[in-house]
């Protein structure tokens, strides 16, 4: 392996390792573990929260409808 090839390979290797330490975008000025965890946590929160709330509301209404139908069924049968 020539000296220039080796230098290029080392430079590429260093370049490949750099993004770990570099900030990903202009607003991510803290590239630490805590910052990364905050991004992951808030992404999960904002993704799951609306689904959980709408799902819970739908499930709760569905249960109330079923309870109401179950309550109506005997009286309809008797009538």
Partner 1 sequence: MARSTTALRVITDPRPPPVLPSAVLGMLIFVIAEVMLFAGLISGFLILKASASVLGSWPPPGQPRLPVEETAFNTLALLTSGLMLWRAQRAFADSHARALRPLAIAIALGAFFVLFQGYEWVMMIGQGLTLTSSNHGSFFYLIVGLHAVHAVAGLALLSWTWGRLRGGFLAGSSFAAAQVFWFFVVGLWPILYLLVYA
One symbol per residue from 11 to 30: x for binding partner 1 (CB under 8 A), - otherwise; what is it?
A: -----------------xxx
Taking contact as CB under 8 A, which single stretch among the options 3-11, 12-20, 38-46 is the one that binds partner 1? 38-46
Taking contact as CB under 8 A, which single stretch among the options 4-12, 14-22, 61-69 is the one that binds partner 1? 61-69
Q: What are the Cα distances from residue 65, in Å, to 14, 38, 51, 61?
A: 63, 40, 21, 6
Q: How many residues bind partner 1 (CB under 8 A)?
A: 25
How many whole angstroms separate alpha carbon 61 and alpha carbon 26? 45
- Coil/strand/helix, residue 56: helix
């Amino acid at each position: 392996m020539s000296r220039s090839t080796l230098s290029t390979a080392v430079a590429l290797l260093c370049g490949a390792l750099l993004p770990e330490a570099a900030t990903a975008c202009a607003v991510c000025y803290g590239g630490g573990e805590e910052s990364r965890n905050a991004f992951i946590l808030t992404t999960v929160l904002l993704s799951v929260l609306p689904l959980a709330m709408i799902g819970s509301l739908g499930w709760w209404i569905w249960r109330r409808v079923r309870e109401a139908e179950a309550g109506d069924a005997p009286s309809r049968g008797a009538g």
